[in-house]
Structure 1
Amino acid sequence: MRNVYLGTSEFAAVVLRALADSAHRPQLVVTRPDAKQGRGQKLAPPPVAVLAAELGIPFIQPEELHSEETLGAIAAASPEVLTTCAYGVLIKEPLLSDYEMINVHPSLLPRWRGAAPIERSIMAGDAETGVAIMRVTAGWDSGPVYALGREPIRADDDYGTLVPRLEELGARLLVQVLDERPTPVEQDEAGVTYANKIGPRERALDPTQTPAEVERTIRALRPHIGSRLKLPDGTFLGVIDARVDGPTRAPAGGLVRTDGLRLLLDCHGGALEITEVRPPGGKVMPAADWLRGQRDEKLTNFRFDPALPDRPLDEVLVTAKREWRDPEDEWQPHVCALAARGDADTLTAMTVLAGDEDPELRELAAYVLGQLGTTTPALPAEQESALRDMAARESNPHVLSAIICAFGHLGGTAGHDWLLAQRAHADAYVREAVAFALGGRRGEDTLAALIDLSADEDPKVRDWATFALGTLAEADNPALRDALAARLDDPDEDTRMEAVHGLALRGDERAEAPARDLLAGRESLDDSVWRRHLLDETASHLDGD
């Protein structure tokens, strides 16, 4: 079948060779001009030009595909069809109307339309990928599909190991389509995903991803693009290989650390061990060898900026919303980034989000408004004002609870009058938040509210209030002690332990008998870290007596 072939890359060269060995040997090859390549940046012809010359097939390398000269050269070949693979230029009219144009696209369309389908399939953890033989239309890889070929993605596949299999599959499938001429089938738009071009930022290891996601990205970019780790001195350590390691010291991600001769990156929810690297200007080596040669600990043990300053606020907010809605996402690095930014732009964004119709997103807004600046409120007056505005119009118990907790994080007297008014709220979730927020605050009104809440009908409210009275309150008076003593026989075990602990700290004799009972039966108790702490501290005060 007479055809003109358009292609440029190594992948396209494999397809060209298959065409040349078939009944569909191209009459003309169109490829891209010579380009600078490699470290030396010397001009070199593209792989398709090299192969066309070897095969003795006429080829042209136009600067402009749609110029009259190029269109004339294509027409002079009298093709029945145009075939293409990885040509590298958007194909437009009149070529689309004048010819049937058949393209080799390395994905299972409609999944992964676009420029980087192989990389994206590995990065996403797809179990399989493949090749689609499709008709080129004005849309972005949206034309009807003549044939699909499937290829499993192995657990250890990288770009370099997967591409050769897809090259052979694509070449074979294109020849088959030209032989059999099947009727193309329109793509299902419901299954469309896009494989955007790999940007420079995606080369950098992203600790806000899970270890598995980072490891897949390393494989997806190996060996042609390459992943890298930015070091504190501004240089980049090339990352060749890594493996998911296990526990992390920084669950939200962002800590680079060493463990002997192991180089670890704490990611979102787990650790990644970097096993093979390329130092700046150096050769590939085991990470252990690189660590042996390092004398500057600052280059091997450091923390990423949790505010993610290289990312636009809008992008961080989009991901933060997704994290907030995900019940399985415990650490939420992009939510943490919003809080860490602590600037007026983030405050404004949260003020807008506070008016969203989705209560979950209003909860997110309240949380960040309380945490803005992380350990120290960045804009305390503005944060309190925004939270008060939210409180004045809010009725959803879960959002109210988030607002109350946010006031608690701001500390001091933030929202104090409003907090006190919520202690009688009908929803226990709200009252529990009030007990949390008042913990550690001073004043007779705070103490009175916590004493009331320590007798609440809900055990979680009683537990928080009793903890606030017994452990956090600086006051020590008969009313407080009596409130704690009233909880010594509380049906809730946690509340009882908090009451015993609070009285023991104050040397109140009413704690001794129930404390010794608890200590005697501690083997049968749930051995949580906090319970062990309470019992140990209670025992130390009893022994001190």
Structure 2
Amino acid sequence: MRLVFMGSPDFAVPALRSLVNAGQEIVAVYCQPPRPAGRGQSLQPCPVQRVAEELGLPVHYPARLRGNAEALAAFQALDADAAVVAAYGLILPRAWLEAPKRGCINIHASLLPRWRGAAPIHAAILAGDAETGVTIMQMDEGLDTGPMLMEGRVAIGPRTRLPEVHDALAAIGADLILKVLETNPAPVPQPDSGSTYAPRLSRGDAKIDWSKPAAAIERQIRAFDPWPGTFTTMGADQLKVLDAELADGQGEPGTVLDGALTIACGEGALRITRLQRAGRAPAAAADFLRGFAVPPGTKLSA
């Protein structure tokens, strides 16, 4: 089958490798353009571009699709049977969706219609969902609104962190897309109710609001690992909170309650177990406190 692959981050890499290993003909790979990164701000390719070049596949990275007649003509000329899309990063206009014979098939990291949008894995953990999954979807012009073709599920435990869910879903998506291409299942419309939206995250989402319940903050720490992370401030110091556990205690939100870094929240308390001071290495709370005094009564803030 002649396929175009469209994806950018690490999440999309297993699907690309799976398609190549299965003997599918990848006639082109589309991804986000290289971005400045690192201390020197040199241009760095996205994970999909690196892997595609390693595999000897032709790579395209138009900065925009809408109104880009030249890029559309090149895409149409590929005469693809289908386009497989996995976290590409650009919205596909109607003409792009209709160019491949079987249209564009999306690997979406949620159990649709729950968590449409850009950050579905983060949102599922943050909300305390007991499970999430991957939906293979026939794309339409809406935001993750197309009919469903196949799904796979994974449980979210009380201590599950984003990296393990991300990797599990990437593997499930890589397996399901092969089955969908082989069996061509009948599309099933998404339910009319029950949809939720997971907006794109920013560094501003990393701030801890100590007026929230302790359980919600603990989920935030697990959901935002490693990006955008979670942090709080203590005086002039910014502290990145890497891990924490629910604890007994109450008080004014953001107040340190004891010598073990138990912090009062809007409801309950949270004991920080691992953290990082700006410019320093990550440390267990006990090690951190040996070199940096945080007496009870200290106030933390966003």
| TM-score of Structure 1 vs Structure 2, range by shorter chain | over 0.9
Question: What is the CA distance between 1:258 and its match in structure 2?
Answer: 4.8
Question: What is the CA distance between 1:210 and its match in structure 2?
Answer: 1.4
Q: 2:87 matched to which residue of 1?
A: 86
Q: 1:8 matched to which residue of 2?
A: 8
Question: What is the CA distance between 1:264 and its match in structure 2?
Answer: 1.9
Distance 2:72 2:34 in 1: 20
> 1:296 and 1:169, CA in 2 relative to 1: closer, same or farther beyond 3 A?
closer
The structure that has the greater radius of gyration is 1
Q: 2:151 matched to which residue of 1?
A: 148
Farther-moved stretch of structure 1 (151-160 vs 181-190): 151-160
Percent identity of paired positions between Structure 1 and Structure 2: 37
Distance 1:265 1:87 in 2: 40
Question: What is the CA distance between 1:83 and its match in structure 2?
Answer: 1.1
Question: What is the CA distance between 1:274 and its match in structure 2?
Answer: 0.6
Distance 2:46 2:150 in 1: 28
Q: Does 1:43 align with 2:46?
A: no
Q: Considering Cα pairs closer than 8 Å and 6+ residues apart, tell me whether 1 or 2 has the greater RCO.
A: 2
Distance 1:225 1:255 in 2: 21
User: What are structure 1's unaligned runs of at least 5 residues?
Assistant: 305-309, 311-545
Q: Does 1:301 align with 2:298?
A: yes
> 1:74 and 1:48, CA in 2 relative to 1: closer, same or farther beyond 3 A?
same
Question: What is the CA distance between 1:303 and its match in structure 2?
Answer: 5.7
Q: 1:169 matched to which residue of 2?
A: 172
Distance 1:200 1:164 in 2: 22
Question: What is the CA distance between 1:79 and its match in structure 2?
Answer: 0.2
- CA-to-partner distance for each residue in 1:90-118, whole Å, 9 max, x for gaps? 11131123331100000000000001100
Q: Does 1:274 align with 2:272?
A: yes
- CA-to-partner distance for each residue in 1:282-332, whole Å, 9 max, x for gaps? 11001222222225759x71165xxxxx9xxxxxxxxxxxxxxxxxxxxxx
- CA-to-partner distance for each residue in 1:162-212, whole Å, 9 max, x for gaps? 111111001101111001000111101211011112243321112222111
Distance 1:231 1:25 in 2: 55
User: What are structure 2's unaligned runs of at least 5 residues?
Assistant: none
Question: What is the CA distance between 1:68 and its match in structure 2?
Answer: 2.4
The residue correspondences of 1:6-405 to structure 2 (distance < 5 A) are 6-66=6-66, 67-99=68-100, 100-233=103-236, 235-250=237-252, 254-260=253-259, 262-295=260-293, 301-302=298-299, 304=301
Q: TM-score, normalised by structure 1?
A: 0.53
Question: What is the CA distance between 1:232 and its match in structure 2?
Answer: 2.5
Distance 2:189 2:26 in 1: 27
- CA-to-partner distance for each residue in 1:23-65, whole Å, 9 max, x for gaps? 4331111111111224553321111111111111111122233
Question: What is the CA distance between 1:160 and its match in structure 2?
Answer: 1.1
Aligned 8 A contact 1:257 1:301 in 2: yes
> 1:189 and 1:231, CA in 2 relative to 1: closer, same or farther beyond 3 A?
farther
Aligned 8 A contact 1:149 1:169 in 2: yes
Aligned 8 A contact 2:251 2:257 in 1: no
- CA-to-partner distance for each residue in 1:345-380, whole Å, 9 max, x for gaps? xxxxxxxxxxxxxxxxxxxxxxxxxxxxxxxxxxxx
SS at match of 2:175: helix
Aligned 8 A contact 2:211 2:254 in 1: no
Structure 1 counterpart of 2:51, one-letter code:
L
Q: TM-score, normalised by structure 2?
A: 0.93
Aligned 8 A contact 1:24 1:178 in 2: no
SS at match of 2:287: helix
Question: What is the CA distance between 1:86 and its match in structure 2?
Answer: 0.7
Aligned 8 A contact 2:205 2:228 in 1: no
Aligned 8 A contact 2:49 2:59 in 1: yes
Distance 1:274 1:39 in 2: 30
Structure 2 counterpart of 1:289, one-letter code:
D
Distance 1:63 1:29 in 2: 14
Farther-moved stretch of structure 1 (201-210 vs 279-288): 201-210
Aligned residues: 299
Distance 2:265 2:251 in 1: 9
Distance 2:4 2:35 in 1: 22
More helix by share: 1
Structure 2 counterpart of 1:58, one-letter code:
P
Moved over 4 A (4+): 295-298
